[in-house]
Amino acid sequence: MSESVESRMELQKELKALRSRISELEGEVKTNQINRDEPKRSLEMLESLLDAIPDVIGLQGRHHEIIRYNSAGYKFLNMTEEDVQGKKCYELIGRDKACEICATREVYKTKKPAQVERYEEEMGVWLDVRAYPVFDKQGEIVNVIEHLRDITERKKAEKELRKSEENFRSLFETINDFLFILDEKGCIQHINPVVEKRLGYSAEELIGKSVLEVHPPERHTEAMGIIADMLEGKRDVCPIPLLTKEGKQIPVETRATKGFWNGQPALFGISTDITERKQAEKLILAQHELARKLGSTIGLDNTLRVCLEAAIDNSGMDCGGIYLVDDSSRELRLVSSQGLSPEFVEASSIYESDSPSTKLIMAGEPVYVDYEKLSVSPDEVKKREGLCAIAIVPIRYKNQVIACTNIASHSLNEVSAISRKMLETIAAQIGSHVARAKAEDILKESEEKYRVLFEGSPQGILIADLETRSFKYANPTICTMLGYSREELETMSVADIHPKEALGHVISEFEAQARGEKILALEIPCMRKDGTVFLADISTNSVLIGGIEYNVGFISDITERIQTEKALKESEEKLRVIIETAQDSIFMKDLNRRYVSVNPAMEALFGLPIKDILGKTDDEFFDQEASIHIKEVDSRVLSGEIVEEEHTKLVKGQQFTFHVVKVPIRNAGGEITGLCGVARDITEIKRLQELESRAQRLETAGRIAGQVAHDFNNLLAPLMAYPEFIREGLPEDHPVQTYVNQIERAASQIADINQQLLTLGRRGHYNQEPLDLNETVNQILQQIEAIPATLVCELELSEDLMKIMGGSAQIGRVLLNLITNARDAMQDIGQITIRTENYYIDQAYGRYARVPRGEYAKLTITDTGSGISPEILEKIFDPFMTTKTTDKKRGSGLGLSVVDAVVKDHDGYIDVESVVGQGTSFYLYFPVARQAETVAPKENISGGSETLLVVDDDVVQRDVAIQLLTKLGYQAEAVESGEKAIEFLKDKSRDLLILDMVMPPGIDGTETYQRALEINPDQRALIVSGFAESERVDKALCLGVGAFIKKPLTQRTIAAAVRRELDRVESAVGLE
C-alpha cells in the first residue's frame, strides 16, 4: 500500500512538470518565435514521456470528448487512436451518458483537481480516477488531463484484509482465554471481553493502566522484570496469577510475543486459566502425600487421624470426624474427630443401625448440604455447635460402606466443587487403608505385615517426563508389582517396563494421554524384572513440576480380574451346558409370567421349538385349572416366597406329575425381576412308588396268610383223617355216610385253599431245578378238564426256549390259575393264546411291574374275554380279591395273589395289559438259567478260530457272549461302548464285530459300524438287540451288517449267525 502512494505522488509530480513544460513551450513559440521545428521536437519528447508512463493518461475536451491517450490508454481499452478520436469517454465502455461519479465533471465544476474510485462493471475492474484542469491565460479550463490506474488487486487485498481483521476481532472477542496488548511500559492498550468478564473490570478501567493492576502487589517487581525480558525476547512465559477486581487470584499461564501496535513496539499476550490443572496437581499431590503418610502410619487410630487431617486440610473446611461401621451391630461409631467441641462429639458419638443418620450414610451416596437442612433434625447440643456446610462422604471397601467422613465448616455455607472432588477422591483412596488398619487392629498382625498392608497407595504410581518418557518417581506398590527397587525404576523409562512387541501401542497410548485425548488406557502389557508379563489398566493425569510437564500414571494389575472374568465365563459356560443338557425342565419368567428362557428339556416336554415358547404364558400350554394353580404359585414367588410342590398337569394329552421348585430372581438392588423354576418329571417315580407300595401290601398280606395257613394246617389234620375212621365204623348204607363224604370233600377244598395260602406266604417248600416252560405248559394242558369246542387254545411255543430255574408244581399252579381265570372271563367261548419266547430287555419297563434289564424266558397268556376295568386292574393281585359273584363260580380270591407270589419266588416279574371288551394278556418274565443250557450231541454247531469283538454296554451280556464264543473256539474280546470299539479298531483289526444296537448315552450300533467302515471298508458285523427291528437296524443292514440277532443269545443262534457271516462270499459283503 505504501508503494502505491509513493508511485502516485511521483506521477503527480511528473504531470505537473509536463503542464509546466507545455506552458513554457507555448510561450516560447509566441514570444520568441523560435524555429518551428523546436516545438515539434518538444512535443515528440513529451509524447515519448507520456507513453513511458504505465498508467492511463488521457486528454479530454470540455464535453468529455477524447483528444488522445498515451500508449497505456489504448492498450487498456484495446483500441487504436482512430477508434477513440472524437468519442466521449463513457462511450468507449458502452454507456450512453456520463458516469454518475465523474472526476472530469468535478474538475469543470470546481476548477480543482478531483479524484474518485469507482467500479467499472462493463470492464470488471476497479479504477482510481484522477482529473487535472488545463487553464488558458484567462484562467479558463480548456482541457482536462485524466489519470486512470487499475486498483482491482488492491481492492481485493483490502477486502481480504478487512475479512481477516473481522475474523481476528471475532476470535479476539470470543476466545475463553485472557487476551491483552501491552506497550513498552507495561500499560494495557487493548483487552478482550473475557478480561472484563472474569476480572470484573471494564475496558475503560484498564485501558491505559499498568498491567500491575491485575497482578498481586507482592509480585509487581517480578512482573515488570518478566515484561522487560519478553520485550527483549529472553522469555515468553509468565507464571504470575491474575488478580480480580475483588482481590481473588486466578492461576494462569501467560505466553506473549513481541510485535507492533499503532506503529509502536508492544507485547501480544494470552493468559490461560490453569485452575483445573492446579486443582488436579493439588489432588494428585494430596493423594501422594496421603499415601506417603499412610504408608508410614501404624494403628487404626493414627490411620484415621491422618485421613481426617487430609480431608479437612484439602477441602478448605475446618472440622469433621470419621465414623466406622461396626461389623456386628452395624452401628456407626465416631472414632476420630477434629475441630469439634467435646459436647458435640459426645452427642454424636454413636448412631444405631436403624437411625436416620445411619440409613443416610449406608445409602452409599455423598451428601453436601447446609447442616440445618439435613433430613436428620439436630438436637440442641448440635445446634449450638454452629455448623454451616457439611459433607458426608461414605468410605467403601469391596463395594461395601465401611466408614464415612463427615467434614464440616463453621463459616462456609457451601461445599465447593473442588472440595467435593477432593473429599470423594480421598474417600476412594482410603477405603482399603481403613479396612486394612481395622483388620490389623483386630488380628494384631506383626509390624512388618502391617507395613506391607498400609505403606503407600494400593495402586502403582509412576511419574514420567512427557518428552523423555523417563521416570521421575515410583511408589512402593509399583516396585513390588514390577520387581524393581525404587532406585532402579527412577533410572528407567517407559520402554523398559513393556514388552518390545507391544511398545508401539504403549507409546501411542502414552502420547494420547499426554495430549489429553484419553485418561484411561486398558489392558496394557507390562513386563516385570523377571521377564514375565501381566496386563494393567493405566490412568493418567498431566502435572507441571518445576516447569516441566509430567504424566502421573496409576497402574492397576488386572491379572486377578481377568482370571475372575475367565473363571466366570467358564462357570457360565458350565452352567449353560448343565442347563441345556439337564433332563429337568428349567425356565425363567418375567414379572408378567411370560417365559423369557427355557432349556431343551422344556422344549421336548411341550413338543415345541423354544422360539414358540418364549414370550408366552402358561395359559397357552395348560388347561384352565392347571393355569390358575400355576398363576397362584407364581404370584407367591414374585412376592418373595420360595415354593416347592408336586403337581399333576395334562401336557399334550398326557398326565404328568412334576416336582417343581420356584425361586424369585433379584437384581443387584434386591428387586424381584422375575422367577426361575425347575420342574422334574416324577411321573415314573410316582408309578414305581405305587408299585413298591402295592408290593409291600402284598408282602404283608402274604406273611399274614402264611402264618394263618401254617396254624390252620395243624387244625386240618383231624378233619382230613377222622372221616376215614368214621366211615370204617359205619355200615355202608348208614345215612351218616353222606355227611362224612361231604365233610371229607370240604376238608379237601380247605386243604387246597390252605396250600394256596402257604404259597402266598411263601411257606411252600419245593426244589428249584432246570425247567423247560414248554414242557410245563403241555403238562398242564393235559391235566385240565376237557376244552369245549367253543374255546380255542392256540400254542406258540419257541423251539429254542432257554431253561429257567424253578419248581414244576409251582409253575404249573401259576399256569393253571391263569388258564382257569381266562376261561372264566370268556365263559369257555373265545381263544386262549399261550406263547413262550426268549426275550431280552435293554431298558427297564413295565405297566404293572417294572421289569429290569436282562435275559428272560417270557410266558404270555392272552384271552379274548371281557377284559378288566382300570380301577379293578390295580387290585387284581390283592389277596381275596375276586369278581366272581355266583355261588358256582365264586372263588377264594387267592388265584392271582398266588400267581404273583410264585413268580416272585422264582425271581421273576409279572405284567398285565387289559382292554375292556377285547381281552387280557398276562406277561411272565423268568430269568434264564444259562448254566443249565446244554447242547444236544446230535446237533451240529460249527465254531471257528477267527477274531471277534463284542461291543455291548451290559457287562452280563458281554460275559455271556464271550463265554459262548470262546466255547465255539473263537478269539473273542469285548468293550463297553461304540466309542471304545472305534479306538480299539484303530490299533487292531477284527474279523467280525458283534454290536449291541442300543448303548446309551453313547453312539449306537449303527453309528459304530458306520465309523468302523471308515477304518476298514470290508469290516463284517452282526447287530444284536432286545428290541424288535427298527429304522436304525434297517440302516445298519443297508450299510452291510450281515444279520440282526434278537436277544437273549443262545449258543445255537449266535453260532449259526457268526459262522454264516464269516463264511459269506467276500464279494457279497455290504450287498445283503
Does position 34 have pLDDT exceeding 50, yes or no?
no
Strand partners, 757: none
- Kindly state whether residues 607 and 730 are assigned to the same domain: no
Does position 779 have pLDDT exceeding 50, yes or no?
yes
Which residue range is the domain that position 719 belongs to?
687-747
| Per-residue pLDDT tens over the stretch 2-13 | 444 455 566 566
CATH number at residue 996: 3.40.50.2300
Q: Mean per-residue pLDDT for 46-68?
A: 81
Q: pLDDT value at position 42?
A: 62
* pTM of the model as a whole: 0.36
Does position 436 have pLDDT exceeding 60, yes or no?
yes
Largest distance between two CA atoms of the chain: 220
In a domain, 752, yes or no: no
In a domain, 662, yes or no: yes
Does position 724 have pLDDT exceeding 80, yes or no?
no
Does position 426 have pLDDT exceeding 90, yes or no?
no
**Cα 1070 from Cα 1035, distance rounded (Å):** 12
| Per-residue pLDDT tens over the stretch 529-544 | 999 999 999 888 887 7
Q: Mean per-residue pLDDT for 43-58?
A: 77
Q: Mean per-residue pLDDT for 400-423?
A: 88
**Cα 9 from Cα 880, distance rounded (Å):** 148
Does position 669 have pLDDT exceeding 90, yes or no?
no
CATH number at residue 56: 3.30.450.20
**867: amino acid identity, one letter:** G
In a domain, 169, yes or no: no
- Kindly state whether residues 186 and 141 are assigned to the same domain: no
Q: pLDDT value at position 1068?
A: 39
Of the candidates 425, 436, 455, 482, the one whose C-alpha atom is nearest the C-alpha of residue 285 is 425
In a domain, 348, yes or no: yes
Domain boundary among 898, 930, 962: 930
**Cα 287 from Cα 276, distance rounded (Å):** 16
Q: Mean per-residue pLDDT for 817-826?
A: 86
Does position 893 have pLDDT exceeding 60, yes or no?
no
| Per-residue pLDDT tens over the stretch 208-263 | 888 888 899 999 998 888 888 888 888 888 888 988 888 888 888 888 888 888 88
| Per-residue pLDDT tens over the stretch 557-595 | 888 888 888 888 888 888 888 887 888 888 999 999 999
| Alpha-helical segments (H) within 515-606 | 559-581, 600-606
**Cα 420 from Cα 283, distance rounded (Å):** 11
**Cα 1020 from Cα 1032, distance rounded (Å):** 17
CB atoms within 10 A of CB 209: 14
Q: pLDDT value at position 430?
A: 84
| Per-residue pLDDT tens over the stretch 355-374 | 888 888 888 889 888 766 66
**Cα 220 from Cα 788, distance rounded (Å):** 141
Q: pLDDT value at position 1020?
A: 94
Is the model more confident about 704 or about 278?
278
Q: Are 526 and 510 in contact (CB under 8 A)?
A: no
Does position 515 have pLDDT exceeding 70, yes or no?
yes
Least-confidence region, from 27-31, 486-490, 999-1003: 27-31
In a domain, 158, yes or no: no
Q: pLDDT value at position 949?
A: 95
Q: Mean per-residue pLDDT for 835-854?
A: 81
- Kindly state whether residues 522 and 466 are assigned to the same domain: yes
- Kindly state whether residues 918 and 956 are assigned to the same domain: no
Q: Are 822 and 834 in contact (CB under 8 A)?
A: no
Of the candidates 281, 274, 222, 279, the one whose C-alpha atom is nearest the C-alpha of residue 251 is 274
- Kindly state whether residues 309 and 392 are assigned to the same domain: yes
Strand partners, 833: 794, 862
Q: What DSSP state is assigned to residue 378?
A: P
Does position 292 have pLDDT exceeding 60, yes or no?
yes
Q: pLDDT value at position 892?
A: 52
Q: pLDDT value at position 22?
A: 59
In a domain, 569, yes or no: no
Q: Are 985 and 973 in contact (CB under 8 A)?
A: no
Average pLDDT score, the chain: 81
Angle at 853 between CA 847 and CA 858, to 5 degrees: 65
Count of domains for the chain: 8
Band the pLDDT of 58: cuts 50, 70, 90.
confident
Band the pLDDT of 86: cuts 50, 70, 90.
confident
Angle at 669 between CA 665 and CA 674, to 5 degrees: 20
**Cα 929 from Cα 806, distance rounded (Å):** 10
Question: Which residues, including other chains, have CB under 8 Å from residue 607's CB and lie 6 or more apart?
Answer: 652
Distance of CA 218 to the CA centre of its chain: 61
Residue 528 DSSP SS3: coil
Does position 1070 have pLDDT exceeding 60, yes or no?
no
Q: pLDDT value at position 1071?
A: 35
Q: pLDDT value at position 577?
A: 82
67-79: string of b/e by CB count within 10 Å (b at 16+)? Answer: eebbbbbbebbeb
Q: Are 717 and 693 in contact (CB under 8 A)?
A: no
CATH number at residue 771: 3.30.565.10
- Kindly state whether residues 64 and 23 are assigned to the same domain: yes
Band the pLDDT of 765: cuts 50, 70, 90.
very low
Domain boundary among 532, 563, 594: 563
| Per-residue pLDDT tens over the stretch 138-187 | 888 888 888 888 888 888 887 887 776 676 666 666 677 888 888 888 89
Is the model more confident about 900 or about 796?
796
Of the candidates 650, 710, 708, the one whose C-alpha atom is nearest the C-alpha of residue 683 is 650
In a domain, 18, yes or no: yes
Is the model more confident about 810 or about 791?
791
Which residue has 403238562 as its cell numbers? 779
CB atoms within 10 A of CB 364: 11
CB atoms within 10 A of CB 382: 17
Q: Based on DSSP, count helices (H) and strands (E) in the chain, helices before strands.
A: 33, 40
Band the pLDDT of 755: cuts 50, 70, 90.
low
Q: Mean per-residue pLDDT for 85-94?
A: 80
**983: amino acid identity, one letter:** E
Take residue 813 and report the three cell numbers written for it: 399252579
Which residue has 399261550 as its cell numbers? 834
Q: pLDDT value at position 774?
A: 92
Does position 512 have pLDDT exceeding 70, yes or no?
yes
In a domain, 160, yes or no: no
Of the candidates 288, 167, 278, 267, the one whose C-alpha atom is nearest the C-alpha of residue 224 is 267
Q: Mean per-residue pLDDT for 620-631?
A: 87
Q: Are 530 and 541 in contact (CB under 8 A)?
A: no
Q: pLDDT value at position 990?
A: 93
Least-confidence region, from 19-28, 402-411, 721-730: 19-28
Helix axes 683-728, 895-905, angle to 10 degrees: 110
- Kindly state whether residues 817 and 697 are assigned to the same domain: no
Of the candidates 533, 534, 540, 529, the one whose C-alpha atom is nearest the C-alpha of residue 561 is 534
Q: pLDDT value at position 452?
A: 47
Domain boundary among 519, 535, 563: 563
- Kindly state whether residues 665 and 719 are assigned to the same domain: no
pLDDT-above-70 percentage for the chain: 83
Q: pLDDT value at position 482?
A: 92
Question: Which residues, including other chains, have CB under 8 Å from residue 757's CB and lie 6 or more apart?
Answer: 705, 706, 708, 709, 712, 894
Take residue 928 and report the three cell numbers written for it: 434264564
Q: pLDDT value at position 951?
A: 94
- Kindly state whether residues 480 and 521 are assigned to the same domain: yes
Does position 701 have pLDDT exceeding 80, yes or no?
no
Q: What DSSP state is assigned to residue 299?
A: S
Q: pLDDT value at position 767?
A: 54
Exposure of 881 in the CB half-sphere (CA atoms within 13 A): 17
Question: Which residues, including other chains, have CB under 8 Å from residue 122's CB and lie 6 or more apart?
Answer: 93, 94, 95
Distance of CA 246 to the CA centre of its chain: 55
- Kindly state whether residues 797 and 888 are assigned to the same domain: yes
- Kindly state whether residues 829 and 723 are assigned to the same domain: no
- Kindly state whether residues 202 and 346 are assigned to the same domain: no
